[in-house]
């Protein structure tokens, strides 16, 4: 859907349902919707009611499958540390797949909530996409307290950086999780001591 902003806006305004039906055809669906919009579903109607898709697949996999694997997906430029990284779609897919497997090993499944306690680093995006990949809900935070720990699992950096202070992110999250009641769920589904995972050892 390539055209000027004014043209796109006019199409949207003149035919709301038709506009989004056309837009939906540009993404991949595991099960395409048979209805675009159901106005009778309260309170505000519902879009693509019977359609099934995955946001991680559409953000990552489809670009690799479409031959864009070597194209830059993320360009990271930290004003804090001066770190610069370019991550291709193929690299992103590998990182997200690894993170998704890590979450599943912690017992995370579809519908679970995962707290991402991380600075602004690419690994935070890996965690978000990994959650979407397995159907979990992610909550992103730059600070953590007991009220945050209703999630099933926590993913944290080992260390963050707020000049001039290095923050022991993993140690902070572990201390909070150790006082969480009831404990978070482990892989078996039983209530077990809380678990957290480290994505990497980089700084924001």
Residue 146's pLDDT is 45
- Please state whether the predicted TM-score (pTM) of the whole model is above 0.85: no
Per-residue pLDDT of the chain (204 residues; tens, 9 = 90+): 556 999 999 999 999 999 999 999 999 999 999 999 999 999 999 999 999 999 999 999 999 999 999 999 999 998 877 889 999 999 999 999 999 998 898 888 899 888 787 778 898 899 999 999 999 998 877 655 444 445 555 555 555 555 555 555 556 555 555 555 444 443 333 333 344 444 444 333
Residue 57's pLDDT is 98
Residue 164's pLDDT is 58
Residue 113's pLDDT is 84
List where CATH 3.40.50.980 sits in the chain.
55-198
Q: How many angstroms separate the CA atoms of 133 and 171, rounded?
A: 28
Residue 172's pLDDT is 55
Residue 175's pLDDT is 53
Q: How many angstroms separate the CA atoms of 101 and 93, rounded?
A: 12
Residue 52's pLDDT is 97
Domain 55-198 = CATH 3.50.30.30: no
Residue 24's pLDDT is 96
Residue 165's pLDDT is 55
Each as own residue / partner, the long-range contacts of residues 99-103 (CB below 8 Å, 24 or more positions apart, any chain) are 99/123, 99/126, 99/127, 99/129, 99/130, 99/155, 99/199, 100/130, 100/133, 100/134, 102/130, 102/197, 103/130, 103/131, 103/134, 103/136, 103/153, 103/155, 103/197
């Amino acid at each position: 859907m390539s055209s000027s902003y004014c043209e796109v806006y006019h199409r949207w305004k003149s035919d709301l349902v038709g506009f989004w039906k056309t837009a939906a055809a540009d993404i991949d669906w595991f099960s395409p919707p048979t209805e675009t919009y159901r106005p009778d579903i309260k309170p505000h109607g519902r879009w693509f009611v019977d359609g099934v898709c995955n946001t991680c697949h559409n953000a990552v996999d489809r670009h690799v499958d479409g031959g864009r694997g070597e194209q830059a997906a993320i360009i990271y430029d930290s004003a804090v540390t001066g770190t610069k990284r370019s991550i291709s779609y193929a690299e992103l897919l590998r990182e997200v797949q690894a993170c998704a497997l890590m979450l599943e090993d912690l017992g995370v499944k579809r519908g679970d909530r995962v707290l991402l306690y991380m600075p602004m680093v690419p690994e935070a995006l890996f965690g978000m996409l990994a959650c979407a990949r397995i159907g979990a809900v992610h909550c992103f935070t730059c600070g953590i307290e007991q009220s945050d720990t209703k999630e099933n699992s926590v993913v944290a950096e080992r260390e963050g950086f707020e000049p001039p202070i290095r923050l022991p992110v993993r140690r902070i999250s572990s201390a909070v999780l150790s006082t969480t009641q009831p404990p978070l769920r482990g892989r078996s589904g039983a209530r077990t001591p809380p678990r957290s995972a480290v994505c990497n050892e980089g700084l924001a």
